[in-house]
Structure 1
Amino acid sequence: MGTSDTPLMRQWEEVKAHHRDALLFFRVGDFYELFHGDAEEGAKLLGLTLTSRNNGSAAQVPLAGVPAKAIDDYMSRLVRMGRRVAICDQVEDPSQAKGIVRREVTETVTPGTAVHESLLSERRNNFLVAVVAEERSYGVAALDVSTGEIIVQHVQGQDLEAEFGRLEPSELLAPRTVIEDPNSGLRSAVADIPLTIRDDWIFETDVCSDELCRFYAVESLDGFGFQAADVALVRAAGSLIQYLKEVRPGGLTHLRPVQIKRPGLVMLLD
């Protein structure tokens, strides 16, 4: 951030720092504007005109904008392409503002957390899926935010691609080291799925167990049907809850008890 940036661009930089992996639509009057790399990518994906904004004595800033009344259409198009979108709105009356209008991100939409009807299909679930590696298999958790359904299961390595084909994930969460491991078969199995790479600590057993306990308001998971060999399932389920709390803070109250899927058996967490 340069000292010669305008107040508007300094504000944009501050917001963007917390949403670096999203296309940030920044409300300016009757338009939502994209800046810098977001503008260049948005112009390419959406067919927008790429222009520039004066940035004080700093260099001109790439700019692309859409009318505020049409934001749902443009957002839907990007999410269908597998992109993550953050909407930054003016949260005070410009006429009452002292200095620059205060702005905050009011909505973040990702392919796996979308609830807009235009982004959902009546024929299939919109699954957000998390996967963690075990010694010879994977722990997989699938969550449909629109219905509240969440299912966890063990999947053998050779069956992972077929299971993803059955679930048709809209978005996949995975630990960074698993994705970057050249010996992992996960990269090839998720080639066509929008991928969100998360830091490894987010998938740690204690972190995920605590997240599930807090969400279900229990002191332990002992009575929920998890067995000693289900550590990967706890990690996958807990990482989904944590991610959803970040993206949709008010969107968890309708989630159902977790279903543990085993060959010939489905167990419910009450």
Structure 2
Amino acid sequence: MALSPMMQEYKKVKEDYKDCVLMYRVGDFYEMFFDDAVRVSKMLELTLTGKECGLPERAPMCGVPYHAVDVYVSRLIQKGQKVAICDQVEDPKLAKGLVKREVTRVVTPGTNMDLSAGDETRNNFLMSIVCTEDRFGVAACDVSTGEFLLTEVDRISRLTDEIYKIGPSEIICNEPLMMSGLDIDDLRNRLGIMVEAMDPRYFGDVICRKTLMDHFHVGSVEGLGISEFGCGVNAAGALLSYLFETQKTDLSHISMIRPYHTEEFMVMDGSSMRNLELLETLREKEKRGSLFWVLDKTRTAMGARMLRSWIEQPLLDKDTINARLDAIDSLNRNEITCAEIREYLNPVYDLERLAARISYKSANPRDLVSLKTSLQMLPHIKALLMELEAGKFREFLDSFDTLEDLSE
């Protein structure tokens, strides 16, 4: 006996996504079949049933409601799975025969956009690493905020420090990294990072440069200020290619790449960061009781993430440190202005993640109301910042667009 037409289509899609749990949209549910159904039903404690498939035995099946799919996807991601979402891409009422379906995105630990249950003060980074004979190129991107970082290091110990500092949930790399001496098992088992070696085609010089130039609309990588990062450019290009392949969207919210040299910041190994309890306590692994908890008086999730990055990467350049201190001193000397700014920041939602959801076309009406509420605060915040004299604020105000036309 042959499989039913729908099951034949399912099998064709599954063939292209063998390493993923395939969630297949059928009516108001996302359904999983065969081995995926057996595995997922155990992981998520779902009822395992069966579906007629044209074979003598019913195909094992489990499913979840379409409106709650993000919750179930996040639970699978937390258990180390990759999930391919296959949606109906035409109106069932207009379809002749089978409804056309396509995989619209692949969700992995480093590309999970549903972070509602997580810590909003944390970034969710996907990291790409390219290992060459004498250097390591490192790129990291948080697709939920659009932040994109790039650097290079010259030895394994420095690479390990960068991984611990950035704290990615997923790493993609070229094959040489797996044999470089980096403790892959420790990354997977102790730190819970998904590590996967990718096909060499992702890391070619020409394709990586072209991917970056096309996305950022520049004529050369010099226009991005990253020409000095040889293997770092390859890491960044491979990361973008992976995102295009899995997210199947234009990623327009990733609008800039920020290169940096590790020498700009104080180097702290993972052991020192843990023992100093900078971000979490040593025993309970909780924020409460850490330095971050003591200092965090921020009003927005964006501010909290920035503070976290400042703690993780203490500055070394004297002029940069003094510029930051001058800005703090200016706020301290203008207590009323500072208090007013904090009041206007209170209603501001996480604009970075709202922009990402809009770019993904997954924003709901509540997100758009949150965006409008947040944007309406910007003119008031800019007016108050103009009362401050620190050079840091002056530089910032030159590029501060209040987006009043958008909020209206």
TM class, shorter-chain normalised? Answer: 0.7 to 0.9
Instruction: Give the corresponding residue for 1:207.
Output: 207
Instruction: Give the corresponding residue for 1:85.
Output: 83
Whether the 8 Å contact between 1:35 and 1:61 is mirrored in structure 2 is yes
Between 1 and 2, higher relative CO (CA 8 Å, sep ≥ 6) is seen in 1
Q: Which whole-Å CA distance do the structure 2 matches of 1:28 and 1:40 have between them?
A: 18
Whether the 8 Å contact between 2:14 and 2:22 is mirrored in structure 1 is yes
How far apart are residue 186 of structure 1 and its match? 5.1
Instruction: Give the corresponding residue for 2:69.
Output: 71
Q: Which has the higher helix share?
A: 2
Q: Which whole-Å CA distance do the structure 2 matches of 1:138 and 1:151 have between them?
A: 14
Shifted more, 155-164 versus 124-133: the winner is: 155-164
Is 1:231–2:230 an aligned residue pair?
yes
How far apart are residue 46 of structure 1 and its match? 0.6
Q: Which whole-Å CA distance do the structure 1 matches of 2:89 and 2:251 have between them?
A: 24
Is 1:258–2:257 an aligned residue pair?
yes
The one-letter amino acid of 1:190's match is L
Instruction: Give the corresponding residue for 1:187.
Output: 184
Q: Which whole-Å CA distance do the structure 1 matches of 2:113 and 2:68 have between them?
A: 18
Instruction: Give the corresponding residue for 2:346.
Output: none
How far apart are residue 106 of structure 1 and its match? 2.7
Change in Cα spacing, 1:9 to 1:127, as seen in structure 2 (3 Å) is same
Is 1:99–2:97 an aligned residue pair?
yes
Whether the 8 Å contact between 2:128 and 2:238 is mirrored in structure 1 is yes
The one-letter amino acid of 1:67's match is P
How far apart are residue 62 of structure 1 and its match? 2.1
Aligned CA-pair RMSD: 2.3
Instruction: Give the corresponding residue for 1:160.
Output: 159
How far apart are residue 59 of structure 1 and its match? 4.7
Whether the 8 Å contact between 1:5 and 1:58 is mirrored in structure 2 is no
Is 1:5–2:18 an aligned residue pair?
no
The one-letter amino acid of 1:203's match is F
- The alignment's TM-score, normalised by the length of structure 1, stands at 0.87
The one-letter amino acid of 2:162's match is E
How far apart are residue 259 of structure 1 and its match? 1.5
Equivalenced residue count is 261
The one-letter amino acid of 2:233's match is V
Change in Cα spacing, 1:195 to 1:7, as seen in structure 2 (3 Å) is same
Identity %: 39
Instruction: Give the corresponding residue for 1:150.
Output: 148
How far apart are residue 86 of structure 1 and its match? 1.8
How far apart are residue 132 of structure 1 and its match? 0.9
Change in Cα spacing, 1:91 to 1:213, as seen in structure 2 (3 Å) is closer
Select which of 12, 19, 22 maps to 1:21: 19
Q: Which whole-Å CA distance do the structure 1 matches of 2:56 and 2:78 have between them?
A: 35
Query: Higher Cα Rg: structure 1 or 2?
Result: 2
Q: Which whole-Å CA distance do the structure 2 matches of 1:258 and 1:31 have between them?
A: 38
Q: Secondary structure at the match of 2:63?
A: strand
Whether the 8 Å contact between 1:177 and 1:200 is mirrored in structure 2 is no
Select which of 55, 60, 63 maps to 1:62: 60
- The alignment's TM-score, normalised by the length of structure 2, stands at 0.59
Whether the 8 Å contact between 2:140 and 2:148 is mirrored in structure 1 is yes
The one-letter amino acid of 1:55's match is C
Whether the 8 Å contact between 2:21 and 2:83 is mirrored in structure 1 is yes
